[in-house]
Structure 1
Amino acid sequence: MTRWTAFAGLTGVVLILLLGLARLSAAQFSSTPQLDRRERVGGDGDGDEDLRWGPEDAAPAAPSRYQSVSGTDSSLSTPERSPVAAAETRATMSPGALLANVALSQGLFGAMLVAAAVWADVPAAALGLVPVATATDVALGVGLGVALWLASEAAGRIAEWAGVEVNEALRGALAPDTAVGWAVLLLAVLPIVALFEEFLFRAALVGALSAGFDAPAWLPATVVGTDPWPWVLAGGSSVTFALGHGAQGRAGIVATGLLGFVLAGAFVLTDSFALVAVAHYVVNALTLVVHEFDLAALGVRR
């Protein structure tokens, strides 16, 4: 039990550090809203234009949907840019540096948690690692990820219709400007993010804690035939998961919390770490590719 307690304590330390970094990110990106990549690309699509124009620039390189078509109709002229929808402040870090920072920090945290789990003799089954992965887990993870992404897109459309702004500055800052950068993002950075966050928020905070510690006395023994303790931990981990994504704004925090609870529920029901890690990766990859990937930005003619 001593080692289990030490593992729980280290998990708490990693969580606090992660939330602290999240607050710093939220402070940085709350004042650096960004446009969708497709709205930033101007000119004839040959990729030579500056994709990161800031408020100091008079306008994008070529007319956008916000600018006058005829040049004489004042009703169609460029409106004054709002802080979120029509301006972009230059990021303080390049996409490459930001990707490296994310990969290194989350990779380091993940290595610490894995080492602590091995030292504390946390059963692999409690972490959802028995078996490590099956074809069914991967297939179900892909399906769940696509479903969650579609739900997220629908929620985003509803939020836009309702006038609720979602800060997408971090997403835009993560988007690379080269083919190599996209390969690194999709094949290295996003897998590290998915593996670390699922290990922390689902495997450790839900699986390991529910297996290593008894449920509080105030919880009933069963709820409709199901142990309620993992579900309580799933709810708590989803709240911290949401707070860890504060850079996405209040609407993004709510959406991330709901997504986190669905992933936690899938973990409780299937005891599969691979399933939720694959689903997490699919959601992130689809979001970035659909909203940020553009061949013109890579200098490729269509």
Structure 2
Amino acid sequence: MPAPNWNAFTAVTLFVLVILIALARASQAMLAGEDDQSAVSEIDSKPDLDTSSESESHLNFEPQPESESYLDFESHPVSEPQSDFESNPDEQSNPDEQSNPEDEQSNQEYEMTTKMLLLNVALSQGLFGVILVVAAVLAGIPAIALGVESATLLQFGVGIILGIALFVANELGQRGADALDIDYEDGLRELLTPDSIRGWVLLLGGALPIIAGFEELLFRSALIGVLASGYGLSPWLLAVLSSVAFAVGHGAQGPAGIIVTGALGGVLAAAFIITGSLLVVVVAHYLVNALEFVVHARDVA
């Protein structure tokens, strides 16, 4: 059996890592642009206050003769703007009761964006995962270095327990960040949250397993297991470096998201080193993401 080509697999791993971080930065810019557009839309939707000279003429505060009253509406036509509303009864109706075609179109675009984003995430990260798997096979990387030498029910159970514990810790971390007034962006989660049963099936049964599998294969198996086995580096040092990269790759979640995600990555890295199992960290990672979507779904609705 030929010796593993550690250098070739490492090159592919670093290439995928760079592309992933670049895509994360693009997602962060996209979400920031949508937030700015939403802010502009809110400003545009506010009623325009007419401060023109014509409006000022209705509020004439110049001194009037003593025989005239300042409340003489006949000589001071303050009520003229009211006549405009009377001539347009549609404007007096409650805007909430009117069907706005733009809102309906916006809702349809939102639903399409959610579905397309789910498919995009599943396909892109699935493709990256396939690239890493093929590279590992062609480079002859040992299964033990990747943490896939064996899979047992015990490992699956450990992953479930770890995932639930990390979800609770993640929620506490987010609340702590809110208490300290550290920004935590959840725009990406809101975009990915489905509004139909089919969408939930796609999310929970397709996108999230692919995301968990790929990210653990990259950040734990490749960046820790392979580099430690191939180059004799300390797995704990690699755990720190991979956790930093893992946090940077989730920059779209804001400063608090980077901190919380970095800590989450550190725990997953430690679990991978201790158990030597990719299955443990994949199951845990999936549960953290799935529970977060399910629990916070009511916030998006």
Band the TM-score falls in, shorter-chain normalisation? 0.7 to 0.9
Secondary structure of 2:14's counterpart equals helix
Which runs of 5 or more structure 2 residues have no equivalent in the other structure? 47-105
- CA contact 1:107–1:196 (8 Å) conserved in 2: yes
Larger Rg: 1 or 2? 2
Question: Shift of residue 162 of structure 1?
Answer: 2.0
1:32 is matched by which residue type in structure 2?
E
1:187 aligns with 2:205: yes
- Matched residue, 2:27: 25
Q: CA RMSD in A?
A: 2.3
Report matched runs for 1:104-143 at 5 Å. 104-131=123-150, 133-143=151-161
- What are the superposed Cα offsets for residues 185-231 of structure 1, whole Å, 9 maximum, x if unpaired? 0001000000000000000000011001133xxxxxxxxxxxxx000
Aligned residue among 114, 118, 123 for 1:99:
118
- CA contact 1:167–1:252 (8 Å) conserved in 2: yes
Pick closer, same or farther for the CA change 1:204–1:177 going to 2, 3 Å: same
Question: Shift of residue 292 of structure 1?
Answer: 1.5
Secondary structure of 2:290's counterpart equals helix
1:99 is matched by which residue type in structure 2?
L
Which runs of 5 or more structure 1 residues have no equivalent in the other structure? 35-53, 59-87, 216-228, 298-302
Q: Distance in 2 between matches of 1:197 and 1:113?
A: 11
- Matched residue, 1:198: 216
Secondary structure of 1:94's counterpart equals helix
1:249 aligns with 2:254: yes
Aligned residue among 175, 178, 183 for 2:193:
175
Pick closer, same or farther for the CA change 1:141–1:13 going to 2, 3 Å: same
1:276 is matched by which residue type in structure 2?
V
Percent of aligned pairs with the same residue? 49
Q: Distance in 1 between matches of 2:35 and 2:200?
A: 21
Question: Shift of residue 157 of structure 1?
Answer: 1.3
Question: Shift of residue 293 of structure 1?
Answer: 5.0
- CA contact 1:175–1:292 (8 Å) conserved in 2: yes
Question: Shift of residue 177 of structure 1?
Answer: 1.3
Q: Distance in 2 between matches of 1:57 and 1:171?
A: 26
Aligned residue among 274, 278, 289 for 2:279:
274
Q: Distance in 2 between matches of 1:124 and 1:175?
A: 35
TM-score (norm 1): 0.73
1:259 aligns with 2:264: yes
Question: Shift of residue 32 of structure 1?
Answer: 3.4
